[in-house]
Structure 1
Amino acid sequence: MAGINGNVKNRRFEEEGTGLGVRHLQIFLLFSGLTVGFAMRVNLSVAVVAMSQAAEINPNFPEYPLTEQMRAVVMSSFFWGYLATQIPAGILSRRFGGKVTLLTGVSVCSVLTLLTPFAASLGGWNYIIGLRLVEGLGQGVFFPSAHTIISAWIPPKERGALATYAYTGGPFGTIIMLATSGWIASSPLGWPSIFYLSGASGVLWVIAYYIWGASSPQESKSISEEEIKLIEMAQSNATGKSQQPHNRHATPWLSFLTSGPFLALIATHAVSAWGYWTLLTQIPTYMNYVLGKDIKSNALLSSLPYIANLVLSFVFVWISKAMQKTSLSLAFNRKFFNTIGTYIPMVLLVALGYVPKENDTLVVVLLTLTVGVNAAIHLGFQVNHIDLSPNFAGTLMGVSNGLASIMSFCAPLLVGKIVPDKQSVEQWRWVFFIAAFFYFVGNGLFVLFGSATVQPWNEPPSKSRRSSIYSELESQKPVNSEK
């Protein structure tokens, strides 16, 4: 009877929780880190205009002329480094802790961001290309590290909501930078301050995270015993064993690459990246050449899609929490939101190609909704790596995000081949059809083969075999009885 009462008490303790705790502080720190990280990532997209046209925007600061070809190299250099560190970041964050790798990545980016004006004065755009490449190496650790930290800190029932809160730091940082960079560049502060302010924010975050951040509840100096028990019980109750990540297990690469649920996750992650970057890199060009509307020169229009993405993230979290109170499974929850985040943008993308030139306002609305509704993927595939394997969540994110980054490169290249005439509506429609097709196939695979169950390879086979052998030997031992 006492055992039953204890189990009931434990379940109530897990459901009620402890209100705001140290785990919520960790999520806020991740949100803040991604905010400053994305601010440093996108700062050059606005600053490049002020740097190359300083005579027109703010003649009190140096000008560095830039050809269109060189501009493309400068803007893509970040992603060369970003792609290279995805998989190593997952392995390192699991081995040394997500706090170590995340602190290292943000520290590198912050220092290099502060040095950007100096690098420009020394070697112009060539030095900036090298600097941005190294910044990409630093930021490549962000998502694998964040996934590793979330898998250690967040109970399964809170995982979707709190991970979404953390990852909204990305669009929030983008909004802040797009909304303020133009004003900073034309003010007495000048374009160098775009880098000084964002880099200094990164340094402040590093100090704060060094003091209050932790890779896991066990490493935190401020967490209560009650909250540690809450986290451990919630994670163990989901599968009957602890889901706390272990950094000593060998990485089962073959199991990753032959796992149907993980391959389905890779597919939807890759196509989501294709559609997202098609939108962000090509829609402004489409609007400029086909509709005669320069969205890049308007800070409000540029930030509207990200504002919608941020706001709708909280709406989807509220819906997700309501669904968790029903008998619907976690797998259904993941697939439901992933479908919203991909199939609605799929339809809106196709619709974009048929909006008349005279109705450019409708195009802005469709574009804003397409990027905004895509926020639902945070509750879909974005957190599914942790569902499949808490032990290897960062590594899984590194693999899928690395492949998704390749798709991000390929999307603009294919557009260049398909759309030789940027004023041709018919050619642009093919771009939208291809992105929509990828959305359809990728999410279809996730719905059919995706899972939210911890996979058998989350625990190493060698350990399982040793446990079995040990149990069998124990059962064969003679039982000593008192005489």
Structure 2
Amino acid sequence: MFQNLGFRHLQTLLLFGTMSVVYALRVNLSVAIVVMTDKQSNPDFEEYAWSEHIKGLLLSSFFIGYVIAQIPCGYLSRKCGGKVLLLICLVSCSLLAILTPVCATIGSWQLVLASRILQGIFQGAVFPSVHTILSKWSPVDERALMSSCTYSGCQFGTFVMLASSGVLAASRLGWPSIFYISGTVGLLWAVIFKFFACGSPKECRRLSEREHELIFSHWGNSELQVRRNSMHPPWTSFFKSCPFWALTTVHCTNNWGLWTLLTYMPVYVKNILHMDIEKNALSSALPYFAMWILSFVFTALSLWLNQRKCLSLETSRKLFNTIGHGTPAVTLIALGYMDADHVIAAVALLTVTVGISSASYLGYQINHIDLSPNFAGILMGISNCLANITGIVAPLTVALIVTNEKSVEQWRIIFFLASILYLLGNTVFLIFANFEVQPWNDPTD
């Protein structure tokens, strides 16, 4: 088994760790803000009397910077290489996380808001850079496997952060330790990534001839590759592409559902299911643990079907995307009728909703590379920019609709809205998506 492992698999492991760290840094505020604004949760530390509007603004502020940075970072990832941008992101976001308690003390919510916007700007490089690196390292037959394993780090980092946050907040170290520890881990990982990661196979001096041939077999001859690298992005072709707009649509609807749950799940669990901070954190983390595990289950299933040639690439992408969006659409409707008398059922539905959505990593998530391996990072930058506008709008929508956090009826509206959007996005993807390399990926003769 291990004799088949190569440097491309080491890069996948390093990218998995990077995604874990950046998502831990991204979600650390979701649990911390519950404790920071509730004196009873941890009476030994300062409480901040922030209104629901301010909390919604803080939870969505990350995406203000994140959205702004997507397209520029997509372009830079192709020009400068994904490794450099990921290193800058890791170091900057880790330092800002460590400084968050200080920001809250000396500048209240305004300085925390500024810090989160800056973190969003730096993390804007993550998905375009990772997509750029994957497009260079992954052979066509291993694209789904490497992408799924890499992006499963999102769920692993989220699970670890949410699960540990409750324990840390309830300990003597208090809520500031959530930021200190996640930031320190981020700095340590940056050192590991610096010494072992390679932005492309060309940077890896110890790459075997066999692995080199396997990776570059689908890239064409060296002359074509040189011409591809010198191409300017065909921006007009991007925006005229119907398959790319289908991909962007499903990306947007997927993010609405996931970020609604991710930013407000601790609030929902506390006010509707009436769990204390430690149980709250564990219940909020469990769905992302399930998502992490199921991402490997779906990947194994995809590989098994591919080896037996049971499904075409198009059918496989659409099948897994439908599983990842259709199931949450159903479970969210049921979740809208749960209350404190149905705690186990509610947690189970949350777990299924988030866990099953990992199937979409084998659907729309790698469609950027299908459409254009040469411009995958830029395409991800564009679609992620538009998709994460929902990261701003969704939490603010929740804050606007849920004026009473203990109202099951108001939360029901939120869940029904996310369900409708899941179905809408998947329908567009099924009808208009394409899975062949587009003509504008290559230079014209």
Q: Same fold (TM over 0.5)?
A: yes
Q: Could you say which residue in structure 1 is the equivalent of 2:281?
A: 299
1:122-178 CA deviation, whole Å, 9 max, x = no partner? 333322221121111111111111000000001111111111111111111111111
C-alpha separation in 1, matches of 2:300 and 2:226: 27
1:20-76 CA deviation, whole Å, 9 max, x = no partner? 1111111111111111111111222233344445686262x5555434333233222
Q: Is the 8 A contact 1:243 1:390 kept in 2?
A: no
Classify 1:243/1:189 alpha carbon distance in 2 versus 1 (closer, same or farther; 3 Å). Answer: farther
Q: Is the 8 A contact 1:245 1:392 kept in 2?
A: no
Q: Could you say which residue in structure 2 is the equivalent of 1:403?
A: 386
Q: Could you say which residue in structure 1 is the equivalent of 2:306?
A: 324
Q: Could you say which residue in structure 1 is the equivalent of 2:10?
A: 25
Q: Determine if the alignment matches structure 1 residue 41 to structure 2 residue 26.
A: yes
C-alpha separation in 2, matches of 1:278 and 1:203: 29
C-alpha separation in 2, matches of 1:284 and 1:205: 27
Q: Is the 8 A contact 1:90 1:144 kept in 2?
A: yes
Q: Determine if the alignment matches structure 1 residue 131 to structure 2 residue 145.
A: no
C-alpha separation in 2, matches of 1:323 and 1:116: 47
Classify 1:242/1:210 alpha carbon distance in 2 versus 1 (closer, same or farther; 3 Å). Answer: farther
Aligned CA-pair RMSD = 2.8
Larger Rg computed on CA atoms? 1
Shift of 1:341: 0.2
Q: Is the 8 A contact 2:228 2:442 kept in 1?
A: no
1:173 aligned counterpart, secondary structure: helix
C-alpha separation in 2, matches of 1:208 and 1:391: 28
C-alpha separation in 2, matches of 1:424 and 1:302: 19
1:57 aligned counterpart, secondary structure: coil
Q: Is the 8 A contact 2:60 2:395 kept in 1?
A: no
Classify 1:245/1:110 alpha carbon distance in 2 versus 1 (closer, same or farther; 3 Å). Answer: farther
C-alpha separation in 2, matches of 1:429 and 1:116: 33
Shift of 1:191: 3.2
Equivalent runs, 1:331-370 vs 2, <5 Å: 331-355=314-338, 358-370=341-353
Q: Is the 8 A contact 1:35 1:170 kept in 2?
A: yes
Classify 1:149/1:245 alpha carbon distance in 2 versus 1 (closer, same or farther; 3 Å). Answer: farther
C-alpha separation in 1, matches of 2:18 and 2:77: 16
Higher relative contact order (CA 8 A, sep 6+): 2
C-alpha separation in 1, matches of 2:337 and 2:40: 40
Between stretches 192-201 and 129-138, larger displacement belongs to 192-201
C-alpha separation in 1, matches of 2:336 and 2:192: 46
Between stretches 176-185 and 144-153, larger displacement belongs to 176-185
2:122 aligned counterpart, secondary structure: helix
1:212-252 CA deviation, whole Å, 9 max, x = no partner? 11111011233223211110114549xx9977994431111
Structure 2 gaps of 5+ residues are: none
C-alpha separation in 2, matches of 1:117 and 1:385: 38
Provide the TM-score with structure 2 as the length reference: 0.91
Shift of 1:295: 8.1
Q: Is the 8 A contact 2:368 2:380 kept in 1?
A: yes
C-alpha separation in 1, matches of 2:264 and 2:59: 14
Structure 1 gaps of 5+ residues are: 1-15, 468-483
Between stretches 273-282 and 171-180, larger displacement belongs to 273-282
Q: Is the 8 A contact 2:93 2:122 kept in 1?
A: yes
Shift of 1:204: 1.5
2:341 aligned counterpart, secondary structure: coil
Q: Is the 8 A contact 1:284 1:294 kept in 2?
A: no
C-alpha separation in 2, matches of 1:234 and 1:258: 26
Q: Is the 8 A contact 2:325 2:360 kept in 1?
A: yes
Between stretches 186-195 and 389-398, larger displacement belongs to 186-195
Between stretches 181-190 and 198-207, larger displacement belongs to 181-190
Classify 1:66/1:451 alpha carbon distance in 2 versus 1 (closer, same or farther; 3 Å). Answer: same
Classify 1:81/1:342 alpha carbon distance in 2 versus 1 (closer, same or farther; 3 Å). Answer: same
Shift of 1:354: 3.9
Classify 1:231/1:128 alpha carbon distance in 2 versus 1 (closer, same or farther; 3 Å). Answer: same
Percent same amino acid among aligned pairs? 48
Q: Determine if the alignment matches structure 1 residue 378 to structure 2 residue 365.
A: no
Q: Could you say which residue in structure 2 is the equivalent of 1:148?
A: 132
Provide the TM-score with structure 1 as the length reference: 0.84
C-alpha separation in 1, matches of 2:414 and 2:241: 31
Classify 1:434/1:48 alpha carbon distance in 2 versus 1 (closer, same or farther; 3 Å). Answer: closer
C-alpha separation in 1, matches of 2:275 and 2:244: 41
C-alpha separation in 1, matches of 2:361 and 2:109: 36
C-alpha separation in 1, matches of 2:17 and 2:251: 24
Between stretches 101-110 and 117-126, larger displacement belongs to 117-126
Q: Determine if the alignment matches structure 1 residue 205 to structure 2 residue 186.
A: no
